[in-house]
Amino acid sequence: MSFRALQMGTAHLERAQQFWTKTMGLEELSSGPDSVTLAAGATHWTLTQAQTPPAIAHFAFTIPENLFDEAVAWLREHAPLLSGSDGKELFDFSHWNAHAVYFTDPDGNIAELIARHTLPNSRRENFEILGISEIGLVTDDVPGTVASLGLPLYRQGGTQFQPVGDEEGLLIVVQHNRPWYPDNRHPAQPIPLTVTLMDGQMITTGPPIGELVPAFYPVA
């Protein structure tokens, strides 16, 4: 369930554009007065200037499963690592067969680099971002939202937290005001966003984010 495209808002477009291109090295595909589209690996990621600052979002980038240590070393040189409530900075998700590290962007979003060892995406060279593989969906009714999506459950969740999809693409459906992992300091709030899956299905939450940006990606 790969993400072909993701569109979301930013409080300060130029600042976000500078961070994700100059600091984090994402390729800029197109830009205009109110939006910029970046290549986050295979995902075309559009950031649109929001009229009011959006709430904090959570999203994750998949990296090669064998280059987690290299990714951590690179990230330490580009952004402060976000620690959990116990002070640790590196996370071993044995139940997901994955390792992850977190950081924040200028909007305060909680971003993640995750190496999913079940995916056959190992590389011999330097690590790279392969795509966006997680986005948080905040709701007042987790079971109802999960049912409405009609997507397979991923691992065991509950009424407060339930991932749906698979290792290539997960919608992290969480209860409104449930604290975001890993530091548990920011309660989850709904944000407007549009996710386009590789099969063309579009999932939209919140009010519209201006006009949808034309598709710069090929149809799979």
- Please choose, from the candidates 6, 84, 83, 16, the residue with its C-alpha nearest in 3D space to the C-alpha of residue 50: 16
- At residue 127, the pLDDT reads 87
- At residue 79, the pLDDT reads 97
- At residue 94, the pLDDT reads 95
- At residue 101, the pLDDT reads 98
Domains and CATH numbers, the chain: 3-205 (3.10.180.10)
CB atoms within 10 A of CB 3: 28
Tens-place pLDDT, residues 59-116: 999 999 999 999 999 999 999 999 998 999 999 999 999 999 999 999 999 999 999 9
CA dist list (Å): 29 to 24, 35, 90, 162: 15, 11, 31, 33
189 near 139, Cβ under 8 Å?
no
Tokens read off for 188: 């989850």
Q: Which residues of the chain have pLDDT under 50?
A: 210-220
- At residue 126, the pLDDT reads 83
191 near 205, Cβ under 8 Å?
yes
Question: Between vectors from CA 16 to CA 11 and to CA 17, what angle results, nearest 5°?
Answer: 130
- At residue 133, the pLDDT reads 97
Tokens read off for 16: 């976000």
- Please choose, from the candidates 41, 43, 59, the residue with its C-alpha nearest in 3D space to the C-alpha of residue 100: 59
148 near 205, Cβ under 8 Å?
no
Alpha helices by DSSP H, the chain: 13-18, 68-76, 142-149
Q: What is the pTM of this model?
A: 0.93
- At residue 209, the pLDDT reads 52
SS3 87: coil
H or E segment to which residue 93 belongs: strand 90-93
- At residue 145, the pLDDT reads 95
